[in-house]
Amino acid sequence: MILRSQVAGCGAYLPERVITNRELAGRLDTSDEWIRQRTGIGERRVAAPGELTSDLALRAAERALASAGMNGSDLDLLVLATATPDNTFPATAAKVQARLGMVRGAAFDVQAVCAGFIFALSVADNALRLGQARTALVIGAELISPFMDWSDRDVAVLFGDGAAAVVLEASEREEGVLAEKLGCYGDAREILRVQGMGGRYANRGVLYGITRWQFEGQEIFKRAVQGMSGACEDTLTRLNVKPQDVDLVVPHQANLRILEAVAKRAHLPMERVYVNIQRYGNMSAATVPVALCEALEEQRVRPGALLLMPGFGGGLSYCAHVVRWGSRTTPLKSSAVELPPNERPALQIIRECLERKTRPSAAAPTTPFA
């Protein structure tokens, strides 16, 4: 008997405040035209001050559980992918576990940056296949806005906040994760990094979260296309499935041009690639599950559909999963949980983020990023 991880439900939570390209262009030397042409992004979400990754994750988790007709006490395992945890420890997953009323099983974080959700899906899938758990909740959640340097046009236009989750259930049917490929170009890890978060900066006068984002966009672009298209080919070949048999590609979305290049190289038609980067930008680990939830809502996922989910992220991690969807494409129940209303306009939120970083009390005293 082969056990597989069937997707029993999913749910997303996106902060209500939106920042458009035009609003950013009012503050930075950029334009809606440049951002759309180079990235495909039109707007992104920003969480309210005080909201944490665990808050976004909890709302997404509650919605996913409702859609599966379950609650926290039905879960055996919780894996949360994030690069922006509430704390380095305890794990953000532990807080979500407690708040969900989950009483048994493990809860821990996985960190593979933008590829985190797909890596977390592998961890949960393996646990279900081995019989270590019968049910699992996999969450991708990111709160990037407080760490963002909103005065740097190179990065400020690219990212957004969000969260989404899927519930997995062990099944003997030929459904769920059929094949996976995970990899990492560790030699290229330095071409994408955020300075100011991590032990490398401890005791060097750097305040945690006063960050500097550094990346070599064109090199990341090349590796992303190579890693994602290679992982797609690898998984499809192992399953003896042709690209034309894939019903929908639900990829990590960092740049529309990357998606077009991956599709071309992996012989996947763009009409079958789900794209929502225009609404959210890159939400790191939240991107793939949010896209999956929206593809379902838009009825782009049919019963029995074959899905391909490629991703890449810092590390540089790359991956692809092939998932056979089950028979149910509508939620069993819905949940309307919301965070308290956010009265602050998005531009005010980012202005306050910048002010907090540049206050004399918050500024790093030396040149800590050398």
CA-based radius of gyration for the chain: 20
Distance CA 78, CA 103 (A): 11
Distance CA 320, CA 195 (A): 28
Distance CA 212, CA 235 (A): 36
Q: Which pair of structure tokens corresponds to residue 50?
A: 């005080």
Of the candidates 106, 167, 174, 116, the one whose C-alpha atom is nearest the C-alpha of residue 142 is 116
Minimum Å gap between C-beta 286 and ligand ACO is: 13
Question: Which one of the listed residues 21, 184, 232, 252 is annotated catalytic?
Answer: 252
Minimum Å gap between C-beta 200 and ligand ACO is: 19
Nearer to ligand ACO, 14 or 224 (CB): 224
Nearer to ligand ACO, 159 or 325 (CB): 159
Minimum Å gap between C-beta 49 and ligand ACO is: 24
Which amino acid is present at 67?
S
Pairing mode of beta strands 162-171, 4-13? antiparallel
- C-alpha 327: how far from its chain's center? 25
Residues that bind ligand ACO (CB under 6 A): 30, 34-35, 38-39, 114, 153-154, 157-158, 192, 215, 217-218, 220-221, 254-255, 282, 313-314
Which amino acid is present at 224?
A
Question: Which one of the listed residues 10, 114, 184, 293 is annotated catalytic?
Answer: 114
Is the Cβ–Cβ distance between 203 and 285 less than 8 Å?
A: no
In this structure, the number of other CB atoms found within 10 A of the CB of residue 214 comes to 14
Nearer to ligand ACO, 35 or 78 (CB): 35
Is residue 252 flagged as an active site residue?
A: yes
Minimum Å gap between C-beta 239 and ligand ACO is: 27
Question: Which one of the listed residues 10, 282, 319, 321 is annotated catalytic?
Answer: 282
Looking at residue 272, the DSSP 8-state letter turns out to be G
Nearer to ligand ACO, 218 or 240 (CB): 218
Per-residue HEC secondary structure of 315-359 comes to HHEEEEEEEECCCCCCCCCCCCCCCCCCCCCHHHHHHHHHHHHHC
Nearer to ligand ACO, 91 or 158 (CB): 158
Nearer to ligand ACO, 34 or 108 (CB): 34
Distance CA 102, CA 105 (A): 8
Minimum Å gap between C-beta 137 and ligand ACO is: 24
Is residue 282 flagged as an active site residue?
A: yes
Is residue 114 flagged as an active site residue?
A: yes
Catalytic residues: 114, 252, 282
